[in-house]
Amino acid sequence: MSSPILTFSKVGLAYRGRLSLFTKPNWVLKDISFELLPSETLGVIGRNGAGKSSLLKLLADIIAPNSGKIHRQPQIKSQLLSLGLGFNKKLSGIDNALMALVTQGSSIRDAKELIPVIIEFSGLGDTIKEPVGTFSAGQKARLGFATAIHATPDILLLDEILGVGDKDFKRKSTKALKEKVQSNQTVVLVSHSIQTLRKLCDRVLWIENGMVNAIGGAQEILDMYETEAVSA
């Protein structure tokens, strides 16, 4: 069995109200422990408010835990596919794509070689040379997806994103994303779709009330989840 590339050990995450230092912290995640294995697709499921999106932010190293430890193997990088939330509006689409690729570990040379591929996939044409601030929401989503799908992070983090854009681009982006997930890419996929998780995941982590309810083989955990949902 391969050694884990990332390990959560009794991790907790709390938010505290801004009005008073004496406000009790709201623990969004409590005592979370699990391992992420190389090349696996780990699904994350749970009801709304269970803490799934907060877990992704911890995995992406966007926020730090209040308790416990997160251990990553050296040089491991995680990328949350956010479809351009970090774009600089004043820079061109090309410059934003280059920055995103380099941030995720690509060399400048490799990033520049990917630009024609990103232009073709996104279908933006010469528009990609304009400032992102002039883009429509759909154009930003195309650029964000085209860039993210061609980046090579060690861990790809997905939050309910399985294709974006108009009908044709959504079909293309969904196909590309599924191919990425089914490759040797390590993926953590948050989704409410049991059918999607059954098709794509090796294991599933079930979170309820900020705690690990169960973790194991995808089919076993999803059967348990469906059984409880029916009886609830």
Residues 135 and 161 in one domain: yes
Given this model, what pLDDT does residue 230 score? 59
C-beta separation of 4 from 36 below 8 A = yes
> Which CATH number does the domain housing residue 162 bear?
3.40.50.300
Given this model, what pLDDT does residue 82 score? 65
Residues 179 and 194 in one domain: no
Given this model, what pLDDT does residue 168 score? 84
DSSP 119-174: HHHHT-GGGGGSBGGGS-HHHHHHHHHHHHHH---SEEEEES-S--SSHHHHHHHH
pTM: 0.81
The answer to whether residue 170 sits within a structural domain is yes
The answer to whether residue 1 sits within a structural domain is no
Given this model, what pLDDT does residue 71 score? 96
For the chain, how big is the Rg over CA atoms in Å?
A: 19
Q: Which of 137, 10, 147, 156 is nearest to 69 (CA)?
A: 10
Q: Which residues of the chain have pLDDT under 70?
A: 1, 17-23, 82-85, 160-165, 230-232
Residues 130 and 212 in one domain: no
Domain extent at residue 168: 82-183
Residues 51 and 89 in one domain: no
Given this model, what pLDDT does residue 83 score? 61
Distance CA(137)–CA(197), nearest Å, equals: 28
Number of structural domains (the chain) is 2
Distance CA(162)–CA(176), nearest Å, equals: 9
DSSP secondary structure letter of residue 140: H
Residues 94 and 162 in one domain: yes
The answer to whether residue 43 sits within a structural domain is yes
Residues 113 and 170 in one domain: yes
